[in-house]
Structure 1
């Protein structure tokens, strides 16, 4: 652990509670228009389009575009499925920016500030740079850089996303630790040569519907970013 110099983070689900935030933002935007749906189900339906849309890019079927563009494409699909095609363009644009207004899990800001005392920090997210900046300013994320998909021009779990993050810091992959609440993300990062830390977010998709334990080998597991900071501090303390 002593050679780790930077931590890079998944953001959606690991650092921010996208589900209840999107439900709240959607309700606030659409209720005044006389629209009433199950808002958590609306958030889930929007998120369900996330991986299929990115796979279009990963597979080379469409050129790389920012996640904001994919989120908008996905929103239009969900609105059509719900029979809400009457929603005007201005409302769609404003609603799409809901992803820039997500709230962090309670431990995140304090945990990041504790970790930044010893490591360089950056998101390694599929979110675009402006989205990451807005979430950082909203939630007090003390990043040293904004890395991830827009820098790599591809989407996780493609190896280039993880490797470009290490390269941006002029570090070897094994000097960088990927932190995420998703085993698949960590497996891909490990395959690219990064060290890995799992953060439990058991309620990400609803009560008890997130990952409470990693299903792949990881270097560290913790229940919060504060616990991760403590675990890494202990691991680096000489006997």
Structure 2
């Protein structure tokens, strides 16, 4: 079996846009500032509480972000968990994932999310997935290796390429595990160790050729 695994939020779904616009619903005009705080707090919350449900990670991370701005979120503290199923899918996702399927690849998600939340998102993704591994399934969050280990044990992939936007959560563990990998560097980030980036591109366009190239390397 030939598989391509993806992270979902940030890779297929515009996670930053979703957080910003959702936070704007509760605090008009402050969504961008809250996003800046959120990006650091989510990593910390997941490290502190690896068994915490993702909807609670969203809530606690937003709570801490509001505290940084001196805001009281009140009942709006759950706005991210409430809106995540509606966050926008990147426009190239349907075509590029469809091309991978047509080329004979199976598709899977390795996501730092709960089963119920990813089920809602899967309804909006334009291409079906053959497998999903969630943080709830493995009792932890990437960059821990639980998602990757579970996927390998269950599906025994003959060829496996991992594609993701997060350098820290996905590219680093994929490198450690010896997986062919494609970094979707949507925000022009600089990796702390460029040597572990096997292939990089700014979005999913022409992904079929890139996946074929790294799988044969």
Residue 136 of structure 2 is aligned to residue 139 of structure 1: no
Task: Give the aligned partner of residue 203 of structure 2.
Answer: 224
1:138 is paired with a residue whose SS is coil
Q: Tell me how far 1:9 sits from its aligned partner.
A: 0.9
Contact 1:107 1:225 in 2 (8 A): yes
Residue 82 of structure 2 is aligned to residue 97 of structure 1: yes
Q: Quick one: structure 1 residues 215 and 134, their matched pair in 2 at CA, closer, same or farther if it must change by over 3 Å?
A: farther
Residue 143 of structure 2 is aligned to residue 157 of structure 1: yes
TM-score (norm 1): 0.76
Q: Quick one: structure 1 residues 147 and 77, their matched pair in 2 at CA, closer, same or farther if it must change by over 3 Å?
A: same
Task: Give the aligned partner of residue 176 of structure 2.
Answer: 191
Contact 1:200 1:211 in 2 (8 A): no
Residue among 2, 5, 27 paired with 2:2: 5
Aligned length: 214
**Distance between the aligned counterparts of 1:119 and 1:7, measured in 2?**
7
Q: Which has the larger radius of gyration?
A: 1
**Structure 1: runs of 5+ lacking an equivalent:** 59-63, 203-207
Task: Give the aligned partner of residue 205 of structure 1.
Answer: none
**Distance between the aligned counterparts of 2:39 and 2:129, measured in 1?**
25
**Structure 2: runs of 5+ lacking an equivalent:** none
Superposition RMSD in Å: 2.8
Q: Tell me how far 1:227 sits from its aligned partner.
A: 1.2
TM-score (norm 2): 0.83
